């Protein structure tokens, strides 16, 4: 037996990347999403009190399921980060709008030492993938981020990856829709390099909880405006 044989443990048993999937009633989307996780990537499905079979489906597919009783995207995303143990943590929606099989392309930017926070810039695959009002709101948001925080990004997308310990050190507080923006602002303030990569964005499976609803959009705008007002 050589030295290399001795450390040759099966790939799947060591997660290089933990993938946090905030999940609120995504039973229809989860089977596909979880089937797309690359080798060495562990799914952490954070169930926010789903009333459908999301948690059972996730467990049956071999995902780690974390229950978070406080509602909110940030509450779920952060519970996933706290449950993660891998050196790199990625975030991805559980609605089948984005394909986890693309994550290694993003993660490589981190492991190559090119950047500290990598964001997936959503590129719609069909006309229906991204509702017009959401696209417009996102463009306005990118403009404000540039003006207030001097960060030049084209899209504040939810697919992203970074070093786990780094993310924990950012001390993120938002537990609703401001979480992705707070991560960006604090990463930038901490001097992190931030990059975007184009990622395909397809129509989600099932019903939207955030930007596809008036209440969801209202909360997102409110949470994000508050964070931007606080930028020094
Ligand atoms: N855990 C949890 N997940 C949520 C919540 N709201 C949305 N999600 C999940 O976060 C992701 C993004 O939400 P989605 O409804 O697709 O928002 P949209 O892409 O802006 O329409 C999906 O995977 C949802 O299941 C929430 O309050 N709690
Ligand atoms: Mg979505």
Q: Which residues pair with 21 in a beta bridge?
A: 45
- Closest atom, ligand 1, to C-alpha of 209: 15
CA distances to 122, 164, 187 from 17, in Å: 21, 9, 19
Instruction: Report the separation in Å between the CA atom of 104 and the middle of ligand 1, taken as the mean of its atom positions.
Output: 23
| pLDDT value at 154 more than 80 | yes
Tokens of 188: 């930038």
| pLDDT value at 203 more than 90 | yes
Q: What is the CATH number of domain 10-229?
A: 3.90.550.10
The two beta strands, 88-91 and 160-163, are: antiparallel
Tokens of 113: 């030492």
Indicate the pLDDT class of residue 211, thresholds 50, 70 and 90.
Answer: confident
Q: Which of 70, 210, 212 to mutate to test the pocket of ligand 1 (most atoms within 8 A of CB)?
A: 210
- Closest atom, ligand 1, to C-alpha of 72: 27
- Closest atom, ligand 1, to C-alpha of 24: 25
Rounded to an integer, what distance in angstroms lies between the CA atom of residue 38 and that of residue 59?
17
Q: Please give the residue that has the higher pLDDT: either 127 or 38.
A: 38
Indicate the pLDDT class of residue 217, thresholds 50, 70 and 90.
Answer: confident
């Amino acid at each position: 037996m050589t030295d290399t044989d001795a450390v040759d443990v099966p790939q799947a048993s060591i997660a290089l990347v933990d993938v946090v999937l905030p999940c609120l009633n995504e039973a229809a989307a989860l089977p596909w999403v979880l089937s797309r996780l690359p080798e060495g990537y562990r799914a952490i499905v954070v169930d926010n009190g789903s009333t459908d079979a999301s948690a059972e489906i996730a467990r049956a597919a071999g995902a780690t399921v974390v229950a978070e009783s406080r509602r909110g995207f940030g509450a779920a995303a952060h519970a996933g980060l706290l449950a993660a143990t891998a050196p790199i943590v990625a975030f991805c929606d559980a609605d089948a709008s984005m394909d986890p099989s693309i994550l290694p392309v993003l993660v490589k930017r981190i492991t190559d030492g090119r950047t500290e926070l990598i964001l997936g810039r959503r590129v719609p695959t069909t006309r229906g993938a991204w509702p017009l009002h959401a696209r417009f709101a996102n463009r306005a948001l990118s403009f404000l981020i540039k003006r207030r925080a001097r960060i030049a990004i084209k899209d504040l997308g939810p697919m992203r990856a970074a070093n786990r310990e780094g993310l924990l050190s950012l001390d993120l507080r938002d537990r609703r829709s401001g979480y992705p923006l707070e991560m960006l602002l604090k990463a930038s303030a901490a001097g992190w390099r931030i990059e975007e990569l184009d990622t395909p964005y397809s129509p989600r499976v099932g019903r939207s909880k955030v930007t596809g609803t008036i209440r969801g959009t209202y909360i997102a705008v409110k949470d994000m405006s508050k964070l931007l007002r606080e930028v020094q």
